[in-house]
Structure 1
Amino acid sequence: MDKQVMAILELLLSEYEYITYSYISDRLDISVRTVARHIKSLEGYFHNHRIQVDTRRGEGIRLILPDEERTKLKKLVNKNDSSGLPAVERKIVLICELLGLQEPAKSYYFSSALKISLGTVGRDLEEIEPWFSQQGLVLVRCRGNGLFVTGAEKAFRDAIVNLLISHIDTRNIHYSYIEFMGPDFFKKELSRYTKIKLAGLMDGHLLENIKKIVDNYDKNIKETLVDESYFKLILLLGLMVQRQEKELVLDRENVQAVKSFTQYDYIIKLLRVIEKYYNLTLQDCDVYNILIHFVAARRRQGLALEQSQADSQLAELAYKIINNIQQELQVKLDYDKDLLKRLLDHLKLLMIRASMEVKVTNNFLEPIKTDYRHIFEVVKKHIAFLEEVIGKPVSDEEVGYITIHFAASLVALENNAKSIRAIVICMSGIGTSKILVEKIKQEVKPVNIVATISSHAINEIELSEQGIDLIISSVKIETFILPVVVVNPLLREEDKLRLNRKINEIEERKNIVSITKRVTDKAVQTKQPETGGKDTGYYLALIHRLLENFYYQYRLVVKTKQELIGHIARTIVDTEVLQATILRNLLKREEYGSTVIDEKGLVLLHCRAGDCLRVGIARLAVPVDDLTNDPPAKIRTAFIVVLPQEDDDRIVEMVSQISKALIVDKTFLYEVCDGNKEIAVESISRILFNFIS
């Protein structure tokens, strides 16, 4: 069976509600026409396995199967999907299998599972053996006894974490439909079978619970740690619970020494919450393992590390490194105070990691070596003396991160003023976000990067008020008012093409706006070009649909924002499946931050769901607190927008006119917050008809 067909079948088996062809197309990155063709080809399979297929116009397709049969078919699909894996994926699967073994396995087990010869198994094992060695583990091959991996429990845990982190898809980690560390969390170029194997290393339900515990314990932790370090914390906590029967043995002297760390009480309190939740007793070694990761974790830019007496000595080292590198590269870098600060912060963490024997991973090492080979070699040469300071060689992973800091400053030298105002969202930390910003400035059409922000604090209203035209993100996020372009953190050629295309669109729109404004200011009447009849009819049909189904609630009584969202999800549509989808997606969107528009207490709630297109207003009898907003706000009115899951720029552009009007048109804002239903509908009609005219 074709891999795309297999992926569609697996997706249909995993979904219990109706899903549209567009939804499948978006998830698998194939065209709707291809989806239709592949589903047609599955008709024989459905018939042979007695699978009832239910399709509904406007809702999509779903399989009607008892849970037991669905589970059996899932296992069958996953098993059969291993044939024809490329060599690189076979090795990933082999590593997953070996890390998950409870007892030695013979080579023919892997030969059968992967549908390859014993000779190929042997060659693959030889090639993955160095990986295990790098993780502090040993791949044992005993004739007659089978294959197994041995090593310290800490090395096993670190190996699992490093394997998972190295294969995540950084563009999708905050997308509302992606289960944390589930199959879709991993790189899209991997086969479904390989993704499932990676996800199978951890208990997904356990990870979701751990993630909730951590986020509830410290609501600011995502703003403190870069995403990679945050993920590692969740994974290490999950492994601590999942592998609690495995003995974690560490140096007792070091375990006792960490009790003097300022972060000790913070971690202890977090671990006590987990102990209570799972009814287990953690050992000092568990505390040490989590604490050391937290202390050595990379922080987001702008978060100062704790000061120490050694700072002046580290500053001297940082100055020495910068001076030597700028001399060899024959460029001036010592003017860049930001480079000095970033390098100093990195050296602090490097010292901590070295003293506690914490290995750092760097998922960008190979592209860094390729794209910045000369800089990497120069940096490696001029930080080699640090070996005498820390008592051990500086790893290529550390050299790679330091290279990013220097590369970012070098790219910044060629930066010019830009015209399009944009913000950058990057999950990979200080260095990669800096280099992404500077590469955009150098290699993309005129664009002014105003700031870098966290994906968990996106308020499109505020950004729009600040004149932001575009969001450039290394993670896939949902936006409604502002356009977003998702790029690789190291900015590939295809990313530049997409950025330039979007910038062209924005420039064209801004030119139209400025021309319109000049004409209005001069009170000159000019005949506007007529909108094409086809588009006009399309927009008129959309407006009719929006106004005909306008959602309105008056003097609604709720106690919390969550209760408000729940009420909206239950009442804005009739079908239970769509209600559940809207509820889930509204709550997920709120994780990015609440969009409170102004002091009148108007909040914008929006998401995508099925083929639903609804707008509406919910007014509260008594205001409720929105503690997720910074600063906290009172919600008095909610403006709701639900858009179809299928991407259609025309729908988004038209409906977003309403939200933009809430920002710039105080009269319209008053009519939404204080007028009756008729006034609100009339005002929205005026905005929409002005848009298409």
Structure 2
Amino acid sequence: MTLSHRHRQILELLLSRNVDVTAGEIAAEINVSTRTVHRELTELEAIISSSGLSLQKKSGKGIQLQGDLQDIEAFKRKLHDAAAIEHSSQDRKLFILCTLLDEDEPVKLFALAHSLRVTIPTITNDLDELESWIQKSNLTLIRRRGYGVGLNGTEMNKRKLIARLARNYLDESDLYGKSARSPSPLVMKLLQLIGKSYFADVEAALWDAEDEGLNKLSESEYTRLLIDISILIARMKQGKVIEANVETETIRRSDLLTHTIEQLSKIVPMEWPEAEIRYLAELLQPEEPHPNQLLPFDELSYMEIVWKLIRRMEERSGVSYSEDRSLRDGLLSHLESALKRLQAGATIRNPLLTQIKRDYEELFEAIRLSVNETITEPAVPDEEIGFLVMHFGASLERQKQLRRNVRAIIVCTSGIGTSKMLAVRLTKELPQIEILGHVSWFEAVHIPEAEYDLIISTVDLPLDDDQYIKLSPLLTKDEAERLRLFIQNVTLQKDNGRDQGAVVRNLKHSTESLHRIRLYVNEIVRIVDGFSVYPLDQSFHSLRETLQVMCEYARQSGYIEDVESIVELLLERERLSSQVIPDTELALFHIRSGRVLEPTLTLFQLKEDLLLDQPVSPGVRHVLLMLGSQELPKESLEVLSEISSYLLLPEMIELLRTGEQSEIKQFLSRELTAFLENKK
């Protein structure tokens, strides 16, 4: 059976649905016109008839694949084995790249053309387009007549390229889930290249280590580490090891490194070269931020995008989205990651896009227009708009939250907005559910069963069927009913009473929560009480001179020990990027240092424009100096970061320009009180 790529897409969609699907839904899912779908369906009827199947078309309802269960299962197996003739240009290039990374010997053009069912000139054109991209990875594409095609470069650079491909073109469901549809040949090849079969063993080794540094990793950082180590194992198994370095610097073998090598040696029973041990040590060493970095470098630029997007949506809908701090935080986290992926050329996939467009048509269109007005580069595809719909949809639903009493944990790999959307949909449809929290997929499988009644996930998990249920983030009526039955027939049949141990754990949780809130309160009171407005009436001849006077004020106020060292750090930070806040008369200078005795926030009002080493628009006469000590508590960092986000609020900007010290303190107190409420 030979099928085009489009035929395969339509068949896989029909096989994955037990309900009628309209031609319009199919068209939206595979990104073609409805007319094209009808033409393809006509061709498909002849193809599937030989397998005992047919297409049932109901006017006004849709299309469904019909046949005996036995025939349908046999057809699924046949479809899995069938080779797709048609590949997209991008898929072809990725397939070629994966093949070159996997092969030790040069690959003939004829072999590539035969595998992809295209002509040799098509492969040649694909290689032309790949060449510059390969060079950016510090690798060289070798092409010689009679030789074939190969990649030349270090093993480390090849591994980095494999990891980059995985991050850009695979999602969490590809990496660890069990998909209802057969993965494409490209996905299968890429999964093989990154050593997916070793994921469970690598994860077990990492979890068994119980390292504090690993526990602090975010889900994306943990997944990246998992991929990198699995690639290491896969390449070593193939004999593709990192080249020995002439430098013989001794490796400091931490407990984590020693333990991980011991565990991984059970998977790769071979002698580990010194170069591979060094490489693994680098992978296990988390990336440290710049030692003098107080706030993330790009935080204000991404926050500006978030505020603009929220304001555009408020203008279009009249909904007070800016009052929803959870929306702001979710958008900031999601957009920063999404825009970086788009800038790197990654493909955004959203399997819920068709349903989102259908169920949230007006919201989708409003966000599409708002994003077009807010983000000019990079181009934002509809798939990403679909994820933003989840964030704003969750914000709309949050107003309807109800009380819950069934302990549940949510696992959702599509982002914060998606998981929150599911949470509020759950509380609306089933108010007896108490959401204990949102966790990552790798945390879910390690949470003791006594701490929850149910796990609700949007992806398959490696857990027993009575421990979790898989739902769509949109929670359809059918899914809500299925969840009710699951709770009645499975969850509540187990021992769901709260034992004395659960009471103790809840009491401990409440105590820890109160302690955490106290820490935030202490930091807020200390920073707001210490805030001051200080006018500088003299003229300055350089930025250094201006900063020296500011830091001298901080020293006399007891916030820093040494003026010159802090000035040098502030100048270094300014050289990295301008501290001027766009479209304002404000600049924010911030660093952390061991010479800072306690966090401080001071507004300096200048008589003349601030002199900067970098060219900026004139008129900057208000400078905020934000200083933090080297070992700053997490709570203090969060409070300072929260304050920095206010610098994009029109009310805050106006207050800093014209307000009195007491008015600015009052504003900070009000906003930080709301911030604190969100932490409870």
Tell me the TM-score normalised to structure 2 length: 0.45
